Chains A and B, each alone.
Chain A
Amino acid sequence: MATRALLAVISASPPRIIRIKASTFPSSSSSSLQFQRHSRIARCFSSDSNSSVLQPPDVSRLAETARISLTPSEIEECGAKIRQVIDWFGQLQQVDVNSVEPAIRAEMEGGNLREDAPETFENRESIRASIPSFDEVYLKVPKVLNKE
């Protein structure tokens, strides 16, 4: 089964170098699948004179920011998986992106804005039916406690 071999770290040389295989079509025997640890991931998190230190994720803090409550066992389980994935993201730090423009999305045509003119939506009753707590024209929510 193809699994972690596909996550193998990119070569030490800059990513634009092609790895050439001897045969055009690889032989049919599959090689053993081994997950190659990213030796350079540790370096991603070490202090460098020019790069900022990326702290590993604090799951409780993130959950608070994202307004999601987690049980203690979820924090532990989720946390381990998240740290593993964020570790793996670290290989992007090795890519030479000097003077490469970030692409927000695929190439887009311009001028796709419409008039900022409100229209009445006919099926208001259906919208209202979906609201969990509703009182005449108001959506009901509990009070807001000011933390400061």
Chain B
Amino acid sequence: MLSTLQPPRSLTLLPFRRLHTSKTIASLSSPSPTLDASPISPPQSQILTTRRSLLSGETTASEIAKSYLSRIRLTEPQLKCFLHVSENVLREAQEIDRRISRGEEVGPLAGVVIGVKDNICTEGMPSTAASRILEHYRPPFDATAVRKVKEMGGIVVGKTNMDEFGMGSTTEASAFQVTANPWDLTRVPGGSSGGSAAAVAARQSMVSLGSDTGGSVRQPASFCGVVGLKPTYGRVSRFGLMAYASSLDVIGCFGSTVADAGMLLHAVSGYDKFDSTSSKQDVPEFESQFLSVDSFESEPLKGLRVGLIRETLEEGVDSGVRSATQEAASHLEALGCVVTEVSLPSFSLGLPAYYVIASSESSSNLSRYDGVRYGNQVMADELNKLYECSRGQGFGGEVKMRILMGTYALSAGYYDAYYKRAQQVRTLIRKDFKAALDQNDILISPAAPSAAYKIGEKKDDPLAMYAGDIMTVNVNLAGLPAIVLPCGLVEGGPSGLPVGLQMIGAAFDEEKLLKVGHIFEQTLKGSGFVPPTLPNVA
């Protein structure tokens, strides 16, 4: 069970006796939920379990790391979550063990095994954004979020697969490989952070970093049955995140519990002088929200006002998703919330406005990939030809399409009709959210209109794929924080497919989202969403 925490930024070591060596890592083989689940103990935080095990001497960072590497070796042939696995994992784990044995301080993420999406720069490790144009690129610096994770003792186990440059909702648009959903290997994990979500679901890493421009953390979290946390725009530095749409991009966190996603977010949040859009707002101690379920009152969320977004339960949303969302709303009511319907009249405009803005900004951001300073170069006898051929051969189809759409929308004479107009629609959307959040503490909706669909199903139909983002894009346009957590299963796959509930908060109010999410998760019957299809590590 989780205990009330007052964690310092680094840990003071207690004197310990090594009691015995244990190879067991908690929660790797939790029982999986079935559609008619009986009560199972609530999911435990991997970060806290690791911390306790290391400090008590029950296990070592090296043993934990070996266990995760072994799991990756076992499951990667089927899943293909990783584009690169780090060669330094054991060395870093041994360093942590050395420090612990010498009684030195180690950070709050010591020994935590972390996956990082491949559009986030990791020094010396390939960072390709799943694109051929950056196929062998090794950045000379760490992204700020990666630097912070390392400073706190986290171990980056590898770089996860994604849709090329973040453009996609299935991870099928990777130039290198298609990642499978751990719940059903014939289905997509979602995207664009599909590799990061699937890696956590399959217990190949404890937590992972992704990026969310239009739902790329939240939708794969829903498809893979894990927690996905999108912070407020500006909460986490974007320095080192390869830009897709600069006014929409954020770095987000995946975990198997709300507590893990929240603690990872805390680790990477904060003002950064290298990102002029990063916020100077204080970062609260999120960890104080993660109280033990034993300490909950009978109605722990009494009086919390929850707005269910009416437009997200209309035509086009799968009946299973609607039922799961309605049941989640009932669960919140049982916890003491007051759930009412709210309407966001501009809701349906978000999707075209998002794609205009994202395409336009991406056409500018991706102009830096020209084959001259880094990445794959296609030699030509003339400079423009070098640009054209390097980009033509280096970029995939979806990326080229979005760059061209963006080029069109920003062309002279079209800017007012498209980009400026989309920015005006963004203002309308922000106003609607603000009005709804003035009347409610949080808003809720499904994370996606369906559960995970089959690989190849939407590949040739761009509009069908874009339609799946309807639940998530408005939150990026408004710059608000949101969390997705698994709330139920629908029919499909060998043992059902997970469905996520999205909770949206006011700007910089991640604390409230984490509190509500944690209580929801810990009191949900039959929780512990572990895909049953994969073998367990011995």
B interface footprint on A1-42 (CB within 8 Å = 1, 0 otherwise): 111111110100001111001001110111101000000000
Given the known A-B contacts A62-B408, A66-B407, A93-B417, are A10 and B395 also in contact in the complex, defined by CB atoms under 8 Å? no
A89-B355, A142-B382 are known; give 9 further A-B pairs, CB within 8 A.
Answer: A5-B315, A7-B463, A7-B467, A29-B319, A33-B316, A57-B408, A68-B391, A69-B391, A95-B349
Which of A92, A102, A107, A143 lies in contact with B479, CB distance below 8 A?
A107
A-B contacts, 23 of them at CB < 8 A, read A4-B316, A6-B316, A16-B345, A26-B314, A52-B413, A66-B391, A67-B370, A85-B462, A89-B352, A89-B355, A89-B409, A97-B425, A102-B423, A103-B427, A106-B430, A114-B273, A123-B140, A124-B140, A126-B140, A132-B374, A139-B373, A142-B381, A143-B383
Question: Is the pair B405, A114 in contact by a Cβ cutoff of 8 Å?
Answer: no
The A49-99 residues at the B interface (CB cut-off 8 A) are: 52, 54, 57, 59, 62-63, 65-70, 74, 77-78, 81-82, 84-86, 88-89, 91-93, 95, 97
- Give the docked Cα–Cα distance between A12 and B374 (Å): 50
**Within 8 Å CB of B316, what residues of A?**
2-6, 8, 33
Q: Once the chains bind, are B318 and A3 in contact (CB under 8 Å)?
A: no
B424 close to chain A: CB less than 8 A:
yes
Spot the interface stretch: B33-41, B111-119, B150-158, B275-283.
B275-283
Q: Does A137 have its Cβ within 8 Å of any Cβ on chain B?
A: no
Interface size on A, residues (CB 8 A): 78
B427, A68: Cβ atoms closer than 8 Å: no
Q: How many residues of B contact A (CB 8 A)?
A: 109
* CA of A8 to CA of B461, assembled, Å: 16
Which A residues are within 8 Å of any B CB, using their own CB?
1-8, 10, 15-18, 21, 24-26, 28-31, 33, 52, 54, 57, 59, 62-63, 65-70, 74, 77-78, 81-82, 84-86, 88-89, 91-93, 95, 97, 100-109, 112-114, 121, 123-124, 126-127, 129-133, 139, 141-145
Residues of chain B within 8 A (CB-CB) of A139 are 372-373
A104 and B467: CB pair below 8 A?
A: no
Q: Does B380 contact A (CB under 8 A)?
A: yes
Which 9 residue pairs spanning A and B have beta carbons closest together? A106-B479, A2-B449, A102-B423, A5-B316, A126-B140, A69-B392, A105-B247, A132-B377, A97-B424
Q: Is B533 an interface residue (CB 8 A)?
A: no
Of A1, A54, A57, A97, which is in contact with the most chain B CB atoms at under 10 Å from its CB? A1
A92 touches B421 (CB 8 A): yes
Contacts from B to A (Cβ < 8 Å):
123-124, 137-141, 232-234, 246-248, 273, 276-281, 310, 313-319, 321-323, 326, 341, 343, 345-346, 348-349, 351-353, 355-356, 363, 367, 370-377, 379-389, 391-393, 395, 397, 400-401, 403-405, 407-409, 411, 413-414, 417-418, 420-428, 430, 449-450, 453, 457-458, 461-464, 466-468, 470, 478-480, 507
